């Protein structure tokens, strides 16, 4: 191949010459130079980029404040507004009539929004929020479908300095209530219903249910976007229609400039213990990394059509839908529906019809679409013209090399680099990822840290391990878009991310990693805590256990993950009832009841795939559940470890046979 670099080991995919020639970061040398700049003076490097990428109302004078570490502050005395940076400055630069968002509805209807139109919508809603008494620093919960209105609502909050907290539309009333209460939100923005795969699913009714549960007395108003016209109850004095409030408001709203450290948003995510944590992000540092990574990782150019398929309910939808592409004045697709409706060619059809050039999705979607294409020629990507594509990306979970190869060959035509981007809700944006014009690719590896990110693989003592040896992934230096705290629980923030056993110095990602012996490339080996990754969705085992034991029949439950070809990991629950262990049809029926109960408590995405009933759980003599053994049983493998420390070794056979 002509693009082959002499230094590229043969198992790697070299950077295509044509791509490198036009890329912002077009060589390994250019990448190394940026890393060297950051290495030499971490603060000056980030300060330079913050000045280049963002427009400041008042420039910052201090870059990094470590005086209260690990509660780092970046660009603290700078004044900035995220919505100004995403909208006004693009309009001011002459991009007012450029299409910002191409919206494709579930039913295929397409609507385009220019930067000018988006700015108007955002300003109207921002004025409506102000009219409702929403003030700078107030929290606003968004429970919305994947929609332009969702992006507008986030931007409107940012415009007035309110802190948004988006709750994914698949979460239950209970989960929504918990988040509203924890955030102390003053207002909810929702829709009557959401449309997914031709089906209307309730949203407003779930908000009603959540607010009726109590604990949400801080809520003063509910704004309702009319999406389907479905039948819902409007509570007088509390609920108003979005179209009514927008019509009453002016299309001009001066942005509220805030400190760079002002909380732009909270986003709840699962941890290894009990309840979800409200990850708090800043305005300036976060927006910098959103813009910077969108530009360098995705090589986003003015003429690109960018499509990130993530829902705004997840962090990927925040950084690479609501903020990153807009901060750069890009054009992007917002898609309401699902990849399998009306059939499993929806993504490929949309790439062709919108001439998408950069496509970013999750391995779980790729695996599902591979399976569909294998059994149904009509939905095979080769039936579509995908030649507009120039770059592909993945996120959310490890991608298995076979799926990578298929994505590369069938979607990218062998011509498009794939950026396998490793990051987390807490990191705000990409941490370890190829820069497509600089790095030769290795399927299954996220390659090297983004310039300025000091990632390392260390042992339990915090000491770096040699390449080729597995360890724990840490980030040694603070970076601008890092999590600032856990809302309302700074102690938990410290304990979760800067625990004393790693010297308290390094950010602990919660993942294991190994670096390739020759290239130093990172491969993520999976979570090292009790967090599962099901279809790219983060789920705490304890959260699911709590949901199970809240059912009146359940005495005890233990949840583990097991590998799954389609979803990456599958949830496997071991349950002890308060009555004799059920078998046969009774077991099936009870398992279904428990699954529905978990859906009620958390949401359908948390439903266990397997539920096994036992008389007991395998425990040590001190009463600790041996999850390690449960993981072996969940996989369907034989327990070969020594089980002599178990209180009740006979339970293993029972659980193994209870499937
Ligand atoms: C963006 C996002 C974070 C967890 C993280 C990892 C896993 C994410 C990759 C990955 C291997 C990747 N935020 N993860 N990306 N594992 N390769 N490219 O997913 O907070 O929801 O999840 O997801 O375990 O810790 S998240």
The predicted pLDDT at position 658 comes to: 80
Query: CA-to-CA distance for 134 and 516, rounded, in angstroms?
Result: 51
The predicted pLDDT at position 8 comes to: 58
Sign of CA dihedral 345, 346, 352, 358: negative
| Strand 187-191 to 221-225 pairing | parallel
Model confidence at 31, pLDDT cuts 50, 70, 90, reads very high
The predicted pLDDT at position 148 comes to: 98
Ligand 1 mean position, distance from CA 636 (Å):
26
Model confidence at 1, pLDDT cuts 50, 70, 90, reads very low
Higher-confidence position of 651 and 646? 651
Ligand 1 mean position, distance from CA 627 (Å):
22
Ligand 1 mean position, distance from CA 527 (Å):
9
Of the residues 497, 524, 531, which should be mutated to test ligand 1's pocket, given the most ligand atoms within 8 Å of the CB? 524
Ligand 1 is surrounded, with C-beta below 6 A, by: 269, 315-316, 395-398, 420-425, 446, 509-511, 524, 527, 533, 538
Nearest ligand 1 atom to the CA of 394 is 18
Nearest CA to ligand 1 atom 17: 398
Ligand 1 mean position, distance from CA 506 (Å):
19
The predicted pLDDT at position 647 comes to: 82
Residues listed for the chain: 659
Ligand 1 mean position, distance from CA 526 (Å):
9
Of the residues 420, 422, 605, which should be mutated to test ligand 1's pocket, given the most ligand atoms within 8 Å of the CB? 422
Model confidence at 7, pLDDT cuts 50, 70, 90, reads low
Sign of CA dihedral 90, 96, 100, 101: positive
The residues pairing with 20 across neighbouring beta strands, listed in sequence order, are none
| Residues 6 or more apart in contact with residue 160 via CB below 8 angstroms | 126, 129, 130, 134, 135, 136, 253, 256
* Mean pLDDT value of segment 249-257: 98
Mind listing the pLDDT tens digit for each residue in 284-337? 999 999 999 999 999 999 999 999 999 999 999 999 999 999 999 999 999 999
Mind listing the pLDDT tens digit for each residue in 223-232? 999 999 999 9
The predicted pLDDT at position 37 comes to: 98
* Mean pLDDT value of segment 60-78: 98
Ligand 1 mean position, distance from CA 468 (Å):
22
Of the residues 533, 534, 568, which should be mutated to test ligand 1's pocket, given the most ligand atoms within 8 Å of the CB? 533
Of the residues 310, 401, 424, 444, which should be mutated to test ligand 1's pocket, given the most ligand atoms within 8 Å of the CB? 424
Ligand 1 mean position, distance from CA 511 (Å):
9
Query: CA-to-CA distance for 294 and 318, rounded, in angstroms?
Result: 12
> How many C-beta atoms surround the C-beta of residue 410 within 10 A?
18
Query: CA-to-CA distance for 17 and 5, rounded, in angstroms?
Result: 9
Ligand 1 mean position, distance from CA 183 (Å):
24
The predicted pLDDT at position 645 comes to: 79
The predicted pLDDT at position 11 comes to: 82
Nearest ligand 1 atom to the CA of 531 is 24
Query: CA-to-CA distance for 30 and 36, rounded, in angstroms?
Result: 10
- 67-73: long-range contacts (C-beta < 8 A, 24 or more apart)? 69/478, 70/478, 70/493, 70/494, 70/497, 70/498, 70/504, 70/507, 71/484, 71/485, 71/490, 71/493, 72/478, 72/482, 72/484, 73/261
pLDDT at 274 over 80: no
The predicted pLDDT at position 2 comes to: 41
The predicted pLDDT at position 293 comes to: 98
Ligand 1 mean position, distance from CA 263 (Å):
23
The predicted pLDDT at position 3 comes to: 43
The terminus-to-terminus CA distance of the chain in angstroms comes to 51
* Mean pLDDT value of segment 483-490: 98
pLDDT at 635 over 60: yes
Nearest CA to ligand 1 atom 4: 424
pLDDT at 203 over 70: yes
The predicted pLDDT at position 10 comes to: 56
Nearest CA to ligand 1 atom 26: 424
Nearest CA to ligand 1 atom 6: 397
* Mean pLDDT value of segment 11-31: 97
Ligand 1 mean position, distance from CA 474 (Å):
14
pLDDT at 504 over 70: yes
The predicted pLDDT at position 192 comes to: 98
Ligand 1 mean position, distance from CA 588 (Å):
33
Ligand 1 mean position, distance from CA 395 (Å):
7
Of the residues 396, 431, 535, which should be mutated to test ligand 1's pocket, given the most ligand atoms within 8 Å of the CB? 396
Ligand 1 mean position, distance from CA 280 (Å):
18
Nearest CA to ligand 1 atom 13: 424
Mind listing the pLDDT tens digit for each residue in 71-119? 999 999 999 999 999 999 999 999 999 999 999 999 999 999 999 999 9
Model confidence at 271, pLDDT cuts 50, 70, 90, reads confident
* Mean pLDDT value of segment 348-375: 97
pLDDT at 273 over 80: no
What is the pLDDT of the chain when averaged over all its residues? 95
Q: Helices then strands (H, E): number in the chain?
A: 21, 30
Nearest ligand 1 atom to the CA of 314 is 21
Mind listing the pLDDT tens digit for each residue in 562-606? 999 999 999 999 999 999 999 999 999 999 999 999 999 999 999
The residues pairing with 278 across neighbouring beta strands, listed in sequence order, are 268
């Amino acid at each position: 191949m002509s693009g082959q670099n002499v230094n590229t080991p043969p198992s790697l995919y070299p950077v295509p010459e044509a791509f490198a020639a036009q890329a912002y970061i077009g060589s390994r040398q250019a990448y190394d130079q940026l890393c060297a700049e950051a290495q030499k003076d971490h603060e000056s490097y980030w300060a330079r980029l913050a000045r280049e990428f963002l427009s400041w109302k008042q420039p910052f004078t201090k870059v990094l404040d470590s005086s209260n570490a690990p509660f780092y502050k970046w660009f603290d005395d700078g004044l900035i507004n995220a919505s100004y940076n995403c909208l006004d400055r693009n309009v001011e630069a002459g991009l007012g009539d450029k299409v910002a968002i191409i919206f494709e509805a579930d039913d295929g209807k397409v609507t385009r929004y220019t930067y000018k139109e988006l700015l108007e919508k955002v300003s109207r809603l921002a004025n409506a929020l102000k009219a409702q008494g929403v003030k700078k620093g107030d929290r606003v919960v968004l429970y919305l479908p994947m929609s332009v209105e969702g992006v507008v609502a986030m931007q409107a909050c940012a415009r007035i300095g309110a802190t948004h907290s988006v709750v994914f539309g698949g979460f239950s009333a209970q989960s929504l209530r918990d988040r509203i209460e924890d955030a102390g939100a003053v207002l909810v923005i929702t829709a009557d219903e959401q449309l997914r795969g031709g089906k209307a699913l309730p949203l407003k009714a779930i908000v009603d249910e959540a607010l009726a549960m109590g604990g949400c007395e801080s809520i003063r108003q509910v704004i309702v976007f009319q999406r389907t016209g479905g039948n819902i109850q409007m509570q007088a004095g509390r609920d108003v229609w979005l179209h009514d409030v927008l019509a009453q408001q002016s299309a001009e709203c001066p942005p509220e400039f805030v400190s760079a450290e002002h909380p732009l948003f909270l986003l709840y995510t699962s941890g290894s213990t009990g309840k979800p944590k409200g990850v708090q992000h800043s305005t300036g540092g976060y927006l910098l990394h959103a813009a910077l990574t969108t530009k360098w990782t995705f090589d986003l150019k003015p003429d690109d059509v960018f499509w990130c398929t993530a829902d705004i309910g997840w962090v990927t939808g925040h950084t690479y839908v609501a903020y990153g592409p807009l901060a750069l004045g890009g054009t992007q697709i917002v898609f309401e529906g699902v990849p399998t409706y009306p059939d499993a060619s929806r993504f490929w059809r949309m790439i062709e019809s919108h001439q998408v050039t950069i496509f970013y999705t999750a391995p779980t979607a790729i695996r599902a679409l591979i399976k569909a294409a294998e059994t149904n020629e009509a939905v095979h990507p080769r039936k579509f013209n995908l030649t507009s594509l120039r770059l592909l990306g993945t996120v959310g979970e490890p991608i298995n090399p076979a799926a990578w190869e298929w994505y590369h060959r069938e979607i990218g035509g062998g011509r498009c680099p794939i950026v396998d981007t490793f990051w987390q809700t807490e990191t705000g944006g990409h941490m370890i990822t190829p820069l497509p014009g600089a790095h030769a690719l290795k399927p299954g590896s996220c390659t090297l840290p983004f310039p300025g990110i000091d990632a390392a693989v260390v042992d339990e003592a915090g000491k770096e391990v040699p390449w080729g040896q597995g360890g724990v992934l840490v980030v040694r230096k603070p970076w601008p878009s890092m999590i600032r705290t856990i809302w309302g629980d700074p102690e938990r923030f410290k304990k979760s991310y800067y625990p004393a056993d790693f010297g308290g110095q390094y950010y602990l990602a919660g993942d294991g990693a190994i670096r390739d012996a020759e290239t130093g490339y990172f491969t993520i080996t999976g979570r090292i805590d009790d967090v599962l990754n099901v279809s790219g969705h983060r789920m705490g085992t304890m959260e699911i256990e709590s949901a199970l034991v809240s059912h009146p029949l359940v005495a005890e439950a233990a949840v583990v993950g097991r590998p799954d070809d389609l979803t990456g990991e599958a949830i496997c629950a071991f349950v002890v009832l308060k009555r004799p262990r059920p078998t046969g049809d009774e077991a099936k029926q009870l398992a279904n009841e428990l699954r529905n109960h978990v859906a009620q408590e958390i949401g359908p995405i948390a439903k266990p795939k397997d539920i096994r009933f036992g008389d007991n759980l395998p425990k040590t003599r001190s009463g600790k559940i041996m999850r390690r053994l449960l993981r072996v049983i969940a996989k369907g493998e034989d327990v070969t470890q020594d089980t002599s420390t178990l209180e009740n070794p006979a339970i293993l056979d029972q659980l193994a046979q209870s499937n």
